Amino acid sequence: MNEAGALAGLRVLDLSDHKGALCGRLLADMGADVIKVEPPGGDSARRIGPFLDDLPHPDRSLFFWFYNLNKRSLTLDLKRSRGADLLLALAGSADVVIDTIDR
């Protein structure tokens, strides 16, 4: 989380897939508090290469690392009531929500 910058104090909830990841990255780079929400098993962008040392693994995706730099993250299962309730609470405290996923 970047505490300085033109957007310091702005909270962004990032529900995007790889199509919207750059938007959240740019807001985070400018100081916004961006919270990346991933489903159980991780964001689909974690399966996009290249991978560190050419070893495919969700935790080694350079694509994911680049587009999610300066973001905080958490995993929520939106199919469970607790996950959905937590998402609603986070959305209620957010100034901006980025959502590019078809549900």
In the prediction, which pLDDT does 69 show? Answer: 97
CA 15 to chain centre: 6
Sheet arrangement for strand 72-75: 72-75, 33-38, 11-14, 96-98
| CB distance 96 to 13 below 8 Å | yes
| CB distance 70 to 29 below 8 Å | yes
List, run by run, the mean pLDDT of 10-residue segments along the chain (103 residues). Answer: 82 94 97 97 96 96 97 96 97 96 70
The matching CATH number, chosen from 3.40.30.10, 3.50.50.60, 3.40.50.10540, 3.10.350.10, for 11-98 is: 3.40.50.10540
In the prediction, which pLDDT does 73 show? Answer: 96
Domain limits of the chain? 11-98
- Tell me the pTM: 0.90
In the prediction, which pLDDT does 48 show? Answer: 96
